[in-house]
Structure 1
Amino acid sequence: MQSIQRITPCLWFDGQAEPAAGFYIAIFKNSRIVGIIRYGEAGHEIHGRPAGSVLTVEFELDGQAFTALNGGPVFTFNEAVSFQVNCETQEEVDYYWEKLSAGGDEAAQQCGWLKDKYGVSWQVVPTALPKMLSDADYAKSERVMTALLRMKKLDIAALQRAYDGMA
């Protein structure tokens, strides 16, 4: 028997749950649609959705469970909640940045954050960044922060140069 993930993020969409889940699983390896639940006749007077339309999409991104809910236009995404994508290499940073930002809000891009075409916020982060920012040598961490604040997509080599005092 498969165990259930204790905490699962639920993303509220206004009719785009299924295409959004498809968009995300196409980007992340080891990802899949787990199941789709559809609206029935029950509660139609409350939810107003046609019977047979998608209620939720259960999906996994690299093993992390998510639920996409077609809940209507009442709530929308904002930057108060975002997802971090930890990347070992610049190649990974470039890949996730390009794929997730495609069709998104370019004005919302800063310090590795981006907003995708569905309005969900992501931060594409090199795994080396937290170590650089938390270095006991205050001058190193300050140089990295200064460099970081000037970037949209993060550049690992530029961050390393700042860390090393060569920027």
Structure 2
Amino acid sequence: MHRFFRPVALLISFARIILRTYERIMRHRNRTLEMMALKSTTVQEPTTIETRCAAAGMRMTEQRRVIARVLAEASDHPDVEELYRRCAAVDDKISISTVYRTVKLFEDAGIIERHDFREGRARYETMRDSHHDHLINLRDGQVIEFTSDEIEKLQAEVARKLGYRLVDHRLELYCVPMDDE
């Protein structure tokens, strides 16, 4: 009789393991479904980039939408590699080639602006209606945006003295910290 109970005990243990695994899978599935429902019911306001893409008649895939949102939320001027890292944290199916193509598409449409700050890599920001200039810290690559009425007046005055009317400009100041020897 002892031989009979041993296989039954093993079957019962095996059934318990299967049941626990099934319960874990179902809990995970339910959490996933809840998150999907939350995402679908949470209405996010379109970013400036998304609005401009729609105005340009651009088809907005989910991956383009993620890239647009990450760019719109950036407080710095990310390059494509940094943008890819941030986007992949949101959607791990985004490839770096998708980021490159989308950034080029947004740039060609005048939705984002490309900057080459002497680092050998392009950095991007949302195209703005208001003008600003950039100060670039050569030690750490930090980009600081600023505006200066005095600089704006001086540039217009220089152009006027040389017989021109200033219509646009880009000013980039490359600096090191004052305490840097």
TM over 0.5: no
In proportion to residue count, which structure has more strand? 1
Give the TM-score, by structure 2 length: 0.24
Question: Which structure is larger by alpha-carbon Rg, 1 or 2?
Answer: 2
